[in-house]
Amino acid sequence: MSDLREQEKIGALLEQTYALCGARPDRADLLAWAEEALALARELDAREAPARLRSVLEEICTLVEAHPASFAPAADWAEERVPLESGEHALILLDALAGAPERAALDEVEAVEAVSLDRLLESLPEEGIGAADEAIRGARTWSARVVELFRRAAASADTVRLAASPEDAQEEDYVLLGRLDEGELVLTRGGPSVWVDWYGSGAPRLTIDGEEIAPRPLPQGEGRRWPLGSKQPPLSFRLALGDSVLTLRIDADAD
Amino acid sequence: MGEFRSLLAAQLDWLAVRVRQHARVAGLSDAQEDLLQETVKIALERLPRFFVGPSRNESARMRCLLLQALKSARTNLYRERAKTPVLGGDAPIERAETEDPESLLAGEQHRRAHLAEVRAELSPGVALVYLCIHFPEEVCAEDLRRAAAFRGGGAQGLARPVDEAWSLFDRLRTERLARTSEAEWKRLVVEVLFSAAPLGEASREDLERGIRNVDTRLARARAKLGLGPSSNQGEPT
């Protein structure tokens, strides 16, 4: 399997893992997820995997550790497979699953004295808390802002056609789509036009719904720009840079 | 209520329990408050990057962030206490080539950090086997108690009552460890942990199954600790 294909699969697996956290999944569904996770871990063990892939598997294992009650029903399954595995990543995954019942029991049984939230927060910098609040709001409104950006582009196109308000046609807004390595992928609107901009080094390639889009240079600074033309959501983006890949889906409607 | 405050408040009881668990098994019980504070500080710093992109299971995302921050906070506290950089639990402990006082002290700090990492990161049964094989002099009754109490996920606990197993292990460690080969020591550990028979009377099947069990747990431990595969299952020092 190619690195990029692997990254897409592991990205989908990460999404599935998030969906399982805090839930009480059906055991059959959980084991299907576990089989898939183990298969990917084995792929990583079969050769020297890129750091980004390893970090995603680490995130999956951390989610299992953080939500043991959701994954505990797969513990027996994991214990049975431990003696059959020798790869590092496979063993780390199986170990996280096998230890889930104990962690779940400890989480349930242990009680601690109430911790003062006010006291905990008072030593933290206000600007840090402000940045965190903004990031959380950003994540919550991400889908709505993306949909709104496309709506404004469409409205602006109508405005341009009517020539009623050329100033509005020059309005710009943007939404951060994601980060890859040290670069940022941004959805940008300028009047009726929508682009995907890459602010960073390297020569990433963008594919939308399976079609590779020809890049242009950014108007300013280092990076690339891909015009979306008449493309409208739903859209599936895939940005590939070296052995890293970022995949995103933009739905037609906000959540 | 602010967004960060609200998400943290929802996870605070859970986090406090995890902090106490990590502090206890890592020998930082006297620093629980510091560990909690450091964890939240690190989580706050990392959150803007961690929360980029579309919203997905917000509470799971927050827990994941807090747990990763807790592990980093624990490492930071060790470093602060040791006042010298430690290699962290990821690195195998190597004996200093020249055993001057500084290198001995640094080696001891690394060893302490590694032992704390083992108890914090590995499940009790896996940690017990790892300690019994690689750090037998560091095993304490509490290690056996934790392993015996954990029977989830197909783990077997201990074959003997904890007090009996501890007494037997302590005696073997005192009387036999120094003059026993690695292979023989492993067999003795198997007898203590995985057989209820009197010493020397375990069946061949029990011994073989026990040795496979020990090897499997050692492989799990090495993977989890990032130590890589071992050509033999002996002492990593």
DSSP string, B46-111: HHHHHT-SS---HHHHHHHHHHHHHHHHHHHHHHHHHSS----TTSPP---SS--HHHHHHHHHHH
Contact A18 B61 (CB under 8 A): yes
List CB contacts (< 8 A) between A62 and chain B.
Answer: 64, 67-68
Please name every residue paired with A194 in a beta bridge, in sequence order, or none if there are none: A189
- Give the best residue of A64, A124, A186 to mutate against chain B (max B CB count within 10 A): A124
pLDDT at B64 over 60: yes
Give A-chain residues touching B123 at CB under 8 angstroms: 95, 98-99, 102
Chain A: closest CA distance from residue B131 (Å): 17
Q: Among residues 80-109 of chain A, which lie with CB inside 8 Å of chain B?
A: 80, 82-83, 86-92, 94-95, 97-102, 104-107
The complex scores an ipTM of 0.81
- Provide the shortest C-alpha distance from residue B213 to chain A (in Å): 8
Q: Which of residues 155-174 of A touch B (CB under 8 A)?
A: none
Write down the domain spans for chain A. Answer: 3-109, 126-250
Does A206 have pLDDT greater than 90? yes
Token pair, residue B47, equals 């959150």
- Chain A residues within an 8 Å CB radius of B129: none
Spatial separation of the C-alpha atoms in residues B149 and B168, rounded to whole Å:
19
**Which residue do the tokens 């890592």 mark?**
B26
Residue B85: how many other CB atoms lie within 10 Å: 11
For residues B49, B53, B56, B57, the Cα torsion angle rounded to the nearest 10 degrees is 20
Domains in chain B: boundaries:
1-121, 123-224
Interface A:B, Cβ pairs < 8 A: 180
Kindly determine whether residue A21 and residue B60, on different chains, have CB atoms separated by under 8 Å: yes
Long-range contacts of B196-204 (CB under 8 A, 24+ apart): B196/B159, B196/B160, B199/B168, B199/B172
For chain A, say whether B81 makes contact (Cβ under 8 Å). Answer: no
Say which residue, B65 or A165, is predicted with more confidence: B65
Within 8 A by CB and 6+ apart from A105, the residues are B152
Q: Which of A80, A89, A105 sits opposite B152 (nearest CB)?
A: A105
Please say whether the beta carbons of A97 and B17 come within 8 A: no
CB contact under 8 A, B155 and A100: no
Q: What is the pTM of this model?
A: 0.74
Give tens-digit pLDDT for A7-50.
Answer: 667 778 888 999 999 999 999 999 999 999 999 888 888 877 66
**Structure confidence at residue A160 (pLDDT):** 58
Residues of B in contact with A106 (CB under 8 A): 17, 21
Q: What is the pLDDT of residues B29-59, one digit of tens each?
A: 888 999 999 999 999 999 998 898 887 799 9
Out of B49, B67, B216, whose CB is closest to A83? B216
Give, for A247, the enclosing helix (H) or strand (E): strand A244-250
Taking the CA of residue A211 and the nearest CA in chain B, the distance in Å comes to 22
Structure tokens at B34: 């510091």
| Contact criterion met (CB below 8 Å) for B70 and B18 | yes
Residue B87: its pLDDT value, please?
43
